[in-house]
A and B are shown apart, each in its own frame.
Chain A
Amino acid sequence: MANWEVVIGLEIHAQLATKSKIFSGSPTVYGALPNTQADLVDLAYPGVLPVLNGEALRMAVKFGLAIGAKIAHRSIFARKNYFYPDLPKGYQISQYEHPVVGKGAITVLYDDGAVKTVGVTRAHLEEDAGKSLHEGLANASGIDLNRAGTPLLEIVSEPDMRSAKEAVAYMRKIHTLVRYLEICDGNMQEGSFRCDANVSVRPRGAAKFGTRAEIKNLNSFRFVEKAIQYEVARQIELIEGGGKVVQETRLYDSDKNETRSMRSKEEANDYRYFPDPDLLPVEIDDAFIDAVRGSLPELPDEKAARFAGEFGLSAYDAGVLSASREMGAYFEAVVDALGTAGRSAPQAKLAANWVMGELSSALNRDNVEIAGSRVSPEALAGLLTRIVDATISGKIAKEVFESMWSDGKSADALIEEKGLKQITDSSAIEGVIDSVIAANPKQLAEYLSGKDELFRFFVGQVMKATAGKANPAQLNELLKKKLTGGPK
């Protein structure tokens, strides 16, 4: 393994979030009864013609601008010819030699903190095919053309990735970006975001790429990682055993966690691409491009840089909080609700920790999107305010948060109701300390003889006696004073 370098390129298919299909007026809503969202154009009736959905074009340009790519002023739709029952026209309309989005690049932050730029070769518009259904049909196949004609943006990367993890990190970044741009819902279960992975290996230091295999239709980040890992191991084992990798298309079987050959290069179709005479070349001018540029939201990298600069967050925290537009917005809403103090580094950091910590785990646990969080940013800010003003401790706050999550009540109401208000009255705390010391003479003697770690025992006893409500800072200070008759 150490002697081999892995080379990966991805072709990501992002379903564009248009209301209607790319060349017809049919709706694109997922999950409708078979063939209820296919009109005469989608069914390829004799005589019908495609008309380009301008919104799909706008979305493609939006993506291109977001990755700093060159936008083609003139792009051309071509026909990719092959027979298949779920391809009603007998050809797919796609962009071949002249895609709308040219060369661009995207910065990927890996888990280990490394930053790498991955090249995007091109991105082009095309239509999706329908689906063949075999289940429950004896000696027959069903065809559902609801998906036929759904707009796709195919994003082709350079072979810039060197491990399955890098491939996944790149794919996640594109996933984040298309959702930021609101051009794709990113729903991988429904197939709105999927990819093909081109995988090869070569001896470390070799100049030439090895022969690649293309793994088709990977529809989860986990499958991308596993399929690539399997494929890399397969290729290395094959070559080391004296074999040769053949150029072919492979399918990943997630049940068996293996890739299987689908068809070899020799069996590959000759798609007979040629410009679609039913569609004129797509001409776009600078005014169009500028208008799209003007509609771009703050992009993930820009947002992360701003979070780091404005709130003093670490690059990692800023990256996590800007990973989705919704999370960034939630975080900012919490900070805003904290008032002017919220923009200070310590409070912003507190907000960041809570959003990435308690809130995120609650969302994950209950499988809720952040936009539908049961604790609103304002409510969370209400809770954080009580930590900041020392009404409750951070530990109590976690309990309050759980109650807020389940009851929907405000932090203040819960603190009041459950009597969780922190004890900050020195004399009250001193009273409890005195009785704890009195009740544990043995531990006191040991402590005084130098067993410092017993300090934590006394803290625990006081907290137990106050049901955790004693202000921790005050408790520390007072306890030290009491145990030693004054600060040490």
Chain B
Amino acid sequence: MLHTLSIGELADRLADREISSVELARHFLARIERLNPSLNAVITVTADEALSSAAAADARLGAGERGRLLGIPLIHKDIFCTDGVRTSCGSRMLDNFVAPYDATVVTRLKAAGAVMLGKSNMDEFAMGSSNETSYYGPVRNPWDTTKVPGGSSGGSAAASAARLAAYSTGTDTGGSIRQPAALTGLTGVKPTYGRVSRYGMIAFASSLDQAGVLSRSAADAAEVLKVMAGFDPKDSTSVDAPVPDYPALLDAPLKGLKIGLLREFFDGLESRNATLIQDALKLFTSLGAETVEVSLPHLPLSVPTYYVVAPAECSSNLSRFDGVRYGYRCAAPSDLTDLYERSRGEGFGAEVKRRIMTGTYVLSAGYFDAYYLKAQKVRRLITDDFRAAFEKVDLVAGPTTPTPAFAVGAKIDDPVTMYLNDIYTIGANLAGLPGLSTPCGYVDGLPMGLQLVGPHFSEAKLLSAAHHYQRATEWHLHTPDGYQ
């Protein structure tokens, strides 16, 4: 079955002309049509564009060109601007917004011959951990459709897990790639801050946002990341450093790799989850890695720190959505204030408003020092903790999430409980570090993830470690029932 093949296998078959890109696109489009209604993972299907870019890829292949992503279908998170295609960011505010340009991530993948099948559902403006804040309704987890797929890249996760595309793109501000990857049995990579251009990626919290990939395996992720990554003069925060050949480095020897077990991650960890992580680390030891315990004393402060920094930035980033130039505008505004108030009041959902208000509060005169400035100081301490840990170990490991996927509706009315879902993932964002989640077993029949976090620009090491682990395990190869 074409949809169970890896990117490498698909690339080989396309190269051998066993299949065509158009056939591949048709196959996945048919799956979307059949399977998406119960998942709500894809909110815009671009069938015509997909078939024409697949035909173009076939022409390139016919002309002898080869590329690991050439002619292979993907789905973009609807946070990436796509020229001529609605880019909603999961919000009523942008329900009518057709982007007039491509995000750099989209441009790079297009140039590599990737075939976009559509845009995936997401938490509104990437604010959420369950994909329930979307204007387009919740996304269902293909492992159990009564459960959430995680968020905010929940649509991308569900789509990749249900094999509606070979892979999907996502963004991760506090765990939005790794958490849904863990909850849907995928490999999710959040690169180092600055590794992938943010240009054209609708901003939530600019100092934390980073684009990445949700795929079946570390090997697939390596192929995609190699194309996505790189300096972009249009993004001042992107880093001008060479991009390693991630696929070529997957087989780098694991022997001697020092993995730090984060003491803070295991405090109070549910026992079945803890067992899975310990088993995974035992396997790493058997493969030649060493494990040592490390401590990041300020890590427990990461959730409150994040919920000051991220809302502060979002309150400013979302000011541009004012009903004046594009996006939602209220009917018959009576004056300027009415235009602003109703356009924003009606265009944004509850979670977005909550964060805009929180962010406005922490930045306001008299509170700035106590909240924003304090949070920045703690952020620095967390970063320093990681730096100190990486003087002793190559990577740190722990769970990606505290629990497996929870029921749709279970936490949506309790923001603090919802926020605690990202307790293990937020640290990497605050410190700008790369992180990866790989499937490591099941709790209650639902997939769980092992998280690896490395020093800045250690993506190759993370991918290689995960690749070694995946060669010794089969969790990542499992496909949920009904989607095989």
Pair B320/A90 contact, Cβ less than 8 Å: yes
Please pick, from B87, B200, B207, B315, the residue contacting A277 in the complex, using a CB distance under 8 A.
B207
Interface flag for B229 (CB, 8 Å): no
Residue B420 is within 8 A (CB to CB) of chain A in the complex: no
| A49 and B325 form a contact (CB under 8 A) | no
User: Residues of B contacting A50 with CB < 8 Å?
Assistant: 236
A81 and B100 form a contact (CB under 8 A): no
Which residues of chain B (362-391) have a CB below 8 Å from chain A? 363-365, 368, 372
Q: A277-B313, A279-B236 are in contact. List 19 more A-B contacts (CB 8 A).
A: A44-B320, A45-B326, A46-B87, A46-B94, A46-B99, A47-B103, A47-B199, A47-B202, A48-B200, A52-B236, A79-B316, A81-B319, A83-B340, A91-B316, A270-B365, A272-B365, A274-B363, A278-B203, A278-B237
Taken together as a complex, chains A and B put the C-alpha atoms of A47 and B203 apart, in Å, by: 6
Query: Does residue A421 face the partner (Cβ distance < 8 Å to B)?
Result: no
- B354 interface residue (CB < 8 Å to A): no
Q: CB of A191 within 8 A of chain B?
A: no
Q: Which residues of chain B are near A141, meaning CB under 8 Å?
A: 336
User: Does chain A have a CB within 8 A of B312?
Assistant: yes
The 8 Å CB contact of A280, one of B201, B237, B360, is B237
Residue-by-residue, is A44-88 near B (CB-CB < 8 Å gives 1, otherwise 0)?
111111111000000000000000000000000001010101001
Q: Is the CB of A51 within 8 A of B101?
A: no
Least CB separation from B365: chain A residue:
A270
| A40 at interface, CB cutoff 8 A | yes
Q: Specify which chain B residues have a CB less than 8 angstroms from the CB of A91 in the assembled complex.
A: 316, 319
**A89 within 8 A of partner (CB):** yes
- Which residues of A, 250-309, contact B by the 8 Å Cβ criterion? 270, 272-274, 277-280
A270 and B364 contacting across the interface, CB-CB below 8 Å = yes
Distance (Å) between the CB of B320 and the closest chain A CB? 4
A143 CB–B CB distance under 8 Å: yes
Cα distance, A79 to B360, chains bound together (Å): 13
A43 within 8 A of B: yes
| A85 & B324 in contact (Cβ 8 Å cutoff) | yes
B236 close to A47 (CB less than 8 A): no
How many angstroms between the C-alpha atoms of A250 and B320 in the bound complex? 28
Residues in A lying within 8 Å of B, measured CB to CB:
40, 43-52, 79, 81, 83, 85, 88-91, 141, 143, 270, 272-274, 277-280
A90 and B322 contacting across the interface, CB-CB below 8 Å:
yes
- Name the contact of B320 in the complex, choosing from A88, A278, A279 (C-beta under 8 A): A88
Do A278 and B236 touch (CB < 8 A)?
Answer: yes
Checking A48, A51, A52, A274 against B312 with a beta-carbon cut-off of 8 angstroms, the contacting residue is A274
Nearest Cβ in chain B — how far from A149, in angstroms? 13
Q: Are B336 and A46 in contact (CB under 8 A)?
A: no
Could you tell me if A46 and B202 are in contact, using CB atoms closer than 8 angstroms?
yes
User: Is B97 positioned at the interface, with any CB of A under 8 Å from its CB?
Assistant: yes
In the bound assembly, the distance between CA atoms of A50 and B233 in angstroms comes to 10
List the A side residues contacting B319 at CB < 8 Å: 81, 83, 89-91
Residues B190-206 near A (CB distance < 8 A): 198-203, 205-206
Is B236 a contact partner of A51 (Cβ separation < 8 A)?
Answer: yes
Q: In the complex, are the beta carbons of B202 and A44 less than 8 A apart?
A: no
- B 54-79 to A, binary, CB cutoff 8 A, 1 in contact else 0: 00000000000000000000000000
- B158: which A residues are within 8 A, CB to CB? none
B81:A47 contact, CB within 8 angstroms: yes
**CA distance in complex: A81, B89 (Å):** 23
Instruction: Enumerate chain A residues within 8 angstroms of B325, measured Cβ to Cβ.
Output: 43-44, 88
- Find out whether the CB atom of B99 lies under 8 angstroms from the CB atom of A47: yes
* C-alpha gap A14/B391 in the complex (Å): 49
A sample of 30 inter-chain contacts (CB < 8 A) reads A44-B325, A45-B326, A46-B81, A46-B89, A46-B94, A46-B320, A46-B321, A47-B87, A47-B200, A47-B202, A48-B200, A49-B237, A50-B236, A51-B233, A51-B236, A52-B236, A79-B316, A81-B319, A83-B340, A88-B320, A89-B319, A141-B336, A272-B368, A274-B316, A274-B372, A277-B206, A277-B313, A278-B237, A280-B236, A280-B237
A221 vs B129: C-alpha distance when bound (angstroms): 58
Q: How far is the CA of A273 from the CA of B360 in the complex (A)?
A: 11
Say what secondary structure dominates the interface of chain B. Answer: loop
- In the bound complex, what is the Cα–Cα distance between A278 and B368 (angstroms)? 19
B478 in the interface, Cβ–Cβ < 8 Å?
Answer: no
Chain B residue numbers with a CB within 8 Å of A43 are 325
Which interface residue of B94, B318, B322, B372 has the most chain A CB atoms within 10 A? B322
- Residue-wise, chain B 228-272 has the 8 Å CB interface mask toward A (1 for contact) of 000001111100000000000000000000000000000000000
Q: For residue B373, which residue of chain A has the nearest CB?
A: A274
List the count of A-B residue pairs having beta carbons below 8 Å apart: 99
Contacts of B236 in A (CB 8 A): 49-52, 278-280
**Contact in complex: B363, A49 (CB < 8 Å):** no
> Which of B101, B206, B318, B320 has the most A CB atoms < 10 Å from its CB?
B320
Question: Considering only CB atoms and an 8 Å cut-off, how many residues of chain B contact the other chain?
Answer: 45
- Whether B99 and A272, one on each chain, are in contact in the complex, defined by CB atoms closer than 8 angstroms, is no
B288-327 interface code vs A (CB 8 A; 1 in, 0 out): 0000000000000000000000001101101111101111
A176 CA to B150 CA in the complex, in Å?
Answer: 62
In the complex, A83→B235 CA distance in Å? 25
- From A45, A47, A79, A143, B324 is in contact (CB under 8 Å) with A143
Residue of B whose beta carbon sits closest to that of A50: B236
Residues of A close to B81: CB separation below 8 A: 45-47
Instruction: Pick the most buried of A44, A52, A279: most chain B CB atoms within 10 A of its CB.
Output: A44
Which residues of B sit under 8 angstroms from A279, Cβ to Cβ?
236-237
Which 6 interchain pairs have the tightest Cβ spacing?
A90-B319, A277-B207, A272-B363, A277-B206, A47-B200, A44-B320
From A44, A48, A274, B199 is in contact (CB under 8 Å) with A48
What residue in chain B is nearest A77 (Cβ atoms)?
A: B236
| Chain A residues in 8 Å Cβ range of B87 | 46-47
Interface residues of B in 94-127 (CB under 8 A from A): 94, 97, 99-101, 103
State how many angstroms separate the Cβ of A106 from the closest Cβ of chain B. Answer: 33
Find out whether the CB atom of A45 lies under 8 angstroms from the CB atom of B100. yes
Residue of A nearest to B318 (CB): A90
CA separation between A310 and B372, bound complex, in Å? 59
- How far apart sit A51 and B198, CA to CA, in the bound complex (Å)? 12
- Known contacts A44-B325, A47-B202; A81 and B207 CB within 8 A of each other: no
Contact yes or no, B101 A49, CB < 8 A: no
Question: CA A52 – CA B99 in complex, angstroms?
Answer: 24
Interchain CA distance A89-B324 in the complex, whole Å = 11
Chain A residues contacting B316 (CB-CB under 8 Å) are: 79, 81, 90-91, 272, 274
Closest partner residue, chain B, to A51 (CB atom): B236
Q: A49, A50, A83: which has the most chain B beta carbons within 10 Å?
A: A49
Q: Do B234 and A51 touch (CB < 8 A)? A: yes
Which chain A positions have C-beta within 8 A of B340?
Answer: 83
CA distance A50 to B236 in the complex (A): 7
Residue of A nearest to B199 (CB): A49
A40 to B205, CA, bound (A): 20
- In angstroms, Cα B312 to Cα A278, docked, is 14
B82 CB, min distance to chain A CBs, angstroms:
10
Provide the residues of chain A in CB contact with B206, threshold 8 Å.
277-278
Minimum CB–CB distance from A303 to chain B (whole Å) comes to: 39
Using known A-B contacts A46-B87, A274-B312, determine if residue A40 contacts B101 with beta carbons closer than 8 Å.
Answer: yes
A48 to B198, CA, bound (A): 8
Residues of A close to B80: CB separation below 8 A: 47
A366-B366 Cα distance, complex, nearest whole Å = 57
Residue of A nearest to B87 (CB): A46
Q: What's the Cα separation between A280 and B239 when bound, in Å?
A: 11
How many Å from the CB of A48 to the closest CB on chain B?
7
How far does the Cβ of A258 sit from chain B's closest Cβ, in whole Å? 27
Determine the distance from Cα of A91 to Cα of B315 in the docked complex, in whole angstroms: 11
The smallest C-beta distance from A4 to any residue of chain B, in angstroms, reads 33
Residues of B within 8 A of A89 (CB): 319-320
**Mask for B407-437, Cβ within 8 A of A = 1, else 0?**
0000000000000000000000000000000
Least CB separation from B200: chain A residue: A47
Most chain-A CB neighbours within 10 Å: which of B205, B236, B321, B368? B236
Contact residues of B between 322 and 345, Cβ < 8 Å to A: 322, 324-327, 336, 340
Report the bound CA distance from A81 to B320 in whole Å: 11
User: CA–CA, A241 to B81, complex, Å?
Assistant: 62
